[in-house]
């Protein structure tokens, strides 16, 4: 996960005069990103236990799917799966199945096999430059979700090309949000907001009985607001920089900001990244097929919004 990126995501927590509901919150740094869990409940002890369990689940998923931890299950796949099929846990197998489906849905605009590009770009940017065209061309053949082979009976994964690297960071965040949301609901904590940097889950309502309010900044004008969204039982992801197009290996600069809102959390971060590198007409097609709503701000400042996401005046 990347370091915390600033975004004006604010839940207006207004205390109802005679309500017994209280707001409990905790923030932690997990996988390099700020994670926050806010719960509206009556019972402090139960809420605090649920928050701690949610944070523990976030850490567990990061430990399983981290690209940068040598002891993660994903690292074992990346280090071995081009040589022999790697037996993995049923949970990670199911996650990979879902991630592959989501990657295919974007028609290449997002691809979980883009790890070689991620590593190349991070190394070169750390050196103060961008990758050379020749370097990008060398690793592009390794980026293709169709080169992952999953064998369900044995629960194994195999790479058809040596040098392939899975990068699950965007899908991992959506999966973690979905898991923690389900965990909180199962513990009777149905009014909550979970945030991981620019991705969030808004469950139920805040303590005054109204939907959670999320404020999106306008990337075109400092201090201005692009949209104010009232959300309940929805997942939101925003992307505004640093997205590599897995089809070309470049950062195309088509968009300045993309926000995706949907009912299913697993895919929203991955879809937001896909829309960020897609032409507007392709983005509209992807969002429609995926059943999500979107707000796009392109490089020229033009805004495209789904009807269900009103823009600020």
Q: How confident is the model at residue 235 (pLDDT cuts 50, 70, 90)?
A: very high
Same domain, 120 and 268: no
Domain count, the chain: 2
Q: Is residue 290 part of a domain?
A: yes
Residue range(s) defining the domain that contains residue 54 = 22-64+173-305
Residue 31 backbone zone (phi > 0: left; psi -120 to 50: alpha; other: beta): left
Q: Is residue 17 part of a domain?
A: no
Q: How confident is the model at residue 8 (pLDDT cuts 50, 70, 90)?
A: very low
pLDDT, position 279: 85
CATH number assigned to the domain comprising residue 227: 3.10.520.10
**Helix boundaries (H) for 140-241:** 169-186
* Residue 56 confidence (pLDDT) above 60: yes
* Residue 125 confidence (pLDDT) above 80: yes
Given 152, 169, 186, which residue is the final one in a domain?
169
Same domain, 85 and 223: no
Q: Is residue 2 part of a domain?
A: no
Q: For residue 57, give the 3-state DSSP assignment.
A: helix
Q: What is the mean pLDDT of the chain?
A: 91
CATH number assigned to the domain comprising residue 151: 1.10.3980.10
Dump pLDDT digits (tens) for 61-78.
999 999 989 999 999 999
> Could you tell me the CA-to-CA distances from 231 to 42, 60, 116, 144, 200 in Å, in that order?
22, 27, 36, 35, 11
* Residue 139 confidence (pLDDT) above 60: yes
Dump pLDDT digits (tens) for 209-227.
999 999 999 999 999 999 9
Same domain, 258 and 153: no
* Residue 13 confidence (pLDDT) above 80: no
Same domain, 258 and 140: no
pLDDT > 90: what percent of the chain? 80
Same domain, 178 and 293: yes
Same domain, 40 and 177: yes
Q: Is residue 135 part of a domain?
A: yes
Dump pLDDT digits (tens) for 101-122.
999 999 889 999 999 999 999 9
Given 169, 191, 223, which residue is the final one in a domain?
169
Same domain, 285 and 188: yes
Q: Are strands 156-159 and 148-151 parallel, antiparallel or unpaired?
A: antiparallel
pLDDT, position 312: 73
- The C-alpha atoms of residue 276 and residue 241 are separated, in whole angstroms, by 9
Same domain, 267 and 204: yes
pLDDT, position 187: 95
Dump pLDDT digits (tens) for 269-308.
999 999 999 888 888 889 988 999 999 999 999 999 887 7
Same domain, 95 and 216: no
Given 125, 143, 169, which residue is the final one in a domain?
169
φ/ψ of 266, rounded to 5, equals -55, -40
């Amino acid at each position: 996960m990347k370091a915390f990126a600033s975004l004006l995501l604010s839940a207006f927590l207004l205390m109802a005069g005679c309500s017994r509901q209280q707001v409990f919150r905790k923030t932690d740094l997990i996988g390099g990103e700020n994670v926050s869990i806010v719960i509206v409940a009556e019972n402090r002890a139960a809420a605090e236990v649920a928050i701690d369990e949610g944070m523990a689940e976030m850490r567990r998923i990061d430990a399983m799917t981290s690209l940068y931890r040598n002891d993660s299950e994903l690292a074992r796949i990346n280090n071995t799966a081009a040589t022999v099929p790697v037996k993995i846990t049923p949970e990670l197998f199911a996650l990979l199945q879902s991630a592959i489906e989501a990657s295919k849905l974007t028609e290449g605009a997002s691809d979980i096999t883009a790890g070689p590009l991620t590593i190349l770009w991070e190394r070169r940017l750390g050196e103060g430059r961008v990758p050379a065209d020749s370097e990008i061309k060398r690793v592009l053949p390794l980026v293709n979700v169709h080169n992952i082979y999953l064998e369900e009976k044995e629960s194994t994964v195999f790479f058809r090309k040596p040098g392939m690297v899975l990068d699950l960071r965007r899908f991992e965040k959506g999966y973690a949000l979905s898991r923690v949301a389900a965990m909180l609901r199962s513990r009777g904590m149905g009014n909550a907001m979970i945030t991981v940097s620019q991705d969030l889950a808004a469950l139920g309502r805040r303590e005054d009985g109204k939907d959670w309010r999320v404020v999106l900044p306008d990337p075109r004008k400092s201090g201005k607001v692009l949209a104010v969204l009232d959300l309940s039982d929805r997942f939101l992801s925003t992307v505004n920089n640093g997205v590599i197009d897995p089809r070309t290996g470049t950062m195309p600069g088509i968009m300045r900001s993309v926000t995706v809102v949907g009912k299913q959390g697993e895919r929203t971060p991955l879809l937001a990244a896909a829309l960020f590198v897609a032409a507007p007409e392709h983005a509209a097609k992807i969002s429609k097929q995926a059943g999500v709503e979107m707000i796009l701000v392109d490089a020229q400042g033009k805004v495209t919004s789904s009807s269900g996401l009103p823009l600020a005046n």
